Each structure stands twice: as C-alpha cells, then as structure tokens.
C-alpha cells in the first residue's frame, strides 16, 4: 500500500524504531526489498537517487516503484533521494512519489532553506512529504572512511543543532537528514560516529532524524542511533554488494553456461537476505529474539 513518508516515520516514532529506505536501481531490487518487508510485516521506503540514472532513468524506474508499492501488503513510501533540481522533484511527484528530498547541503544556509521552502510548497500540492538536509555526508569532507589516513572531519561538516532548529522552523520539512559521521559508499575503516550530536539535535528539533550512508554501520551503532532519534536509515551500497558477490560466487560454480534469468534470481535471493537482516535490526526484531 502506497503511503507518505511522514506517516511511516510517525509510526516509527511511535514504535521507537527506524525504517529502512532502500535505493532502487532494478526490478530485482524492488522484489528483494518488498519481499523482505512483507515477510517481516514491516513498512519500508523505496527510493531513487538521481545519481543512479546512469544505471536506469527515473522515467522508467519511477512508475514501476510506485506501481509495486501500491500492490504491496505493507505500508510503502516512494521517495526521491538527493533531489537538487526542482524539475526532477516535480517529475517524481507527477509519477506518484509520496516523498521528495531537497538537497541544498552544498549551498549556504540561506539558499538551502529557501530552496527547501520551495520543495515543501511544491510537495504540498501533491500531499507528499519532504526531507531536508543540513550538514555534509560526502567522502570529500569525511576521512573516517579511511582515505588519506585520517578519521575525523572538520566541525563544519557536522550538523549544528542550533542551525538545525532554525532550518526546520523556516522550512516546515517532515524529516531532517543530519551529518554525524556517516558517509555514502563503502567504509574502508570503522566510521567515527558522534552519537551525542544526534541527541543534541533531537533536543532542538522535534522531527525524525535521517541517517545517510547507512551501509557498513555495526548493528550496535544502529541501535544507539535509533535510541537517540534516527527514524529513517538510507541503505544501498552493501545491499548491491551482497547481490553482486553472491552472483559472482554462483556463476563461478555454475559450469560452462550461465543463464541471465538465473543471475536475476540469485541477485534477488541474496539481496532479500540482506534486507531481511537490515529490517530486523532497524525494527528491533533482532534484539527481541536474542
């Protein structure tokens, strides 16, 4: 069933859990995510990032995401991730996306807030939710992924709690993506998370906090982030890696002939297994079972 991101995050807030937001680049990815969500009975967010248009265009993938969300047996939001172009935001909303993210984090505070206000006004006409961002989650700012031998970013990269309070008041967003030590992509060493910063932001901002760069974080760190108010966790890199590495293993042992339809089935199998574990961690199911 297709719902807004706001309604899903309200549910997550009530349950004190986080909801996985899985970037989609293929039909097999949707099958894996929705299969795991329905098996666990948990809501999920399907999201598309414009950076993945080199793999498949939004014009093709978007309508499929919306259609499959509508037919799912659990609540599903369809979200545009990291939209920095108003034309792209409107394209997603016209397709039936129930949530958009305006990413003005590379701009000045004033420009970011002004652009986010426009996104909120645009989304309101569709009854859609909006995520905004304050801080930096790029590898070029954070060296905690192991580049150049460092493990710290400058203070200016992290989300300032007072700025976060002003930003949310000015914009009227439904969720706030914050920077506290995570980055996109593969981690080359253990990330250095500023957990106390999440708590300080939540003290100032009565909104769900969004974690970008969720792949590769330990289960215990996930629990600590969720405890402090993280309600949406973006996840893609390790999901794609799980599918790819399993296909590589199966193909190596398949003999002389490999059929493409087998490759897609292997990919779904491995990705669903990864999503199942991720949902169990985010929803606290794994803690209750242990």
125-179 pLDDT per residue, tens: 999 999 999 976 553 433 433 344 444 445 557 899 999 999 999 999 999 999 8
**What pLDDT is stored for residue 146 in this prediction?**
39
Which pLDDT score, from 0 to 100, does residue 270 have?
A: 98
Report the pLDDT value the prediction gives residue 148, as an integer from 0 to 100. 44
pLDDT tens for 83-113 read: 999 999 999 999 999 999 999 988 999 999 9
Model confidence band, residue 280 (pLDDT cutoffs 50, 70, 90): very high
Determine contact, residues 50/83, Cβ cutoff 8 Å: yes
For residue 233, pLDDT beyond 50: yes
Q: Which residues contact 109 (CB under 8 A, 6 or more apart)?
A: 134, 163, 166, 167
Distance of CA 171 to the CA centre of its chain: 21
**What percent of the chain clears pLDDT 90, i.e. is strictly above it?**
80
Which is higher by pLDDT, 22 or 157?
A: 22
CATH of domain 5-238: 3.20.20.70
Domain ranges of the chain: 5-238
* Average pLDDT of the chain, as a whole number: 90
**Given 81, 103, 160, 221, which residue is catalytic?**
81
Catalytic status, residue 81 = yes
Structure tokens at 104: 């003005």
């Amino acid at each position: 069933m297709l719902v807004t991101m706001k309604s899903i995050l309200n549910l997550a807030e009530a349950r004190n859990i986080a909801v996985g937001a899985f970037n989609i680049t293929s039909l097999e990815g949707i099958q894996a995510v929705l299969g795991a969500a329905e098996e666990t009975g948990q809501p999920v967010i399907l999201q598309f990032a414009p950076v993945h248009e080199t793999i498949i265009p939004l014009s093709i993938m978007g309508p499929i995401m919306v259609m499959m969300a509508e037919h799912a047996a659990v609540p599903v939001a369809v979200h545009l991730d990291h939209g920095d172009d108003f034309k792209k935001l409107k394209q997603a909303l016209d397709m039936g996306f129930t949530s958009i993210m305006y990413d003005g984090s590379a701009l000045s505070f004033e420009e970011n807030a002004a652009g986010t206000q426009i996104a909120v006004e645009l989304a309101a006409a569709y009854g859609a939710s909006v995520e905004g961002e304050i801080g930096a989650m790029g590898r070029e700012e954070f060296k905690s992924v192991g580049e150049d031998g460092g493990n710290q970013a400058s203070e200016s990269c992290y989300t300032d709690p007072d700025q976060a309070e002003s930003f949310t008041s000015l914009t009227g967003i439904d969720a706030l993506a914050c920077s506290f030590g995570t980055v996109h992509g593969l981690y080359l060493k253990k990330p250095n998370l500023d957990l106390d910063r999440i708590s300080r932001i939540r003290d100032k901002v009565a909104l769900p906090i969004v974690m970008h760069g969720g792949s590769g974080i330990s289960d215990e760190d996930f629990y600590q982030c969720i405890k402090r108010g993280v309600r949406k966790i973006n996840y893609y890199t390790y999901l794609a890696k799980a599918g790819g590495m399993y296909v590589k293993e199966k193909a190596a042992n398949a003999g002389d002939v490999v059929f493409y339809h087998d490759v897609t089935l292997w990919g779904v199998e491995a990705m669903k297994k990864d999503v199942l574990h991720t949902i169990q961690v985010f929803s606290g199911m794994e803690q209750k079972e242990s």
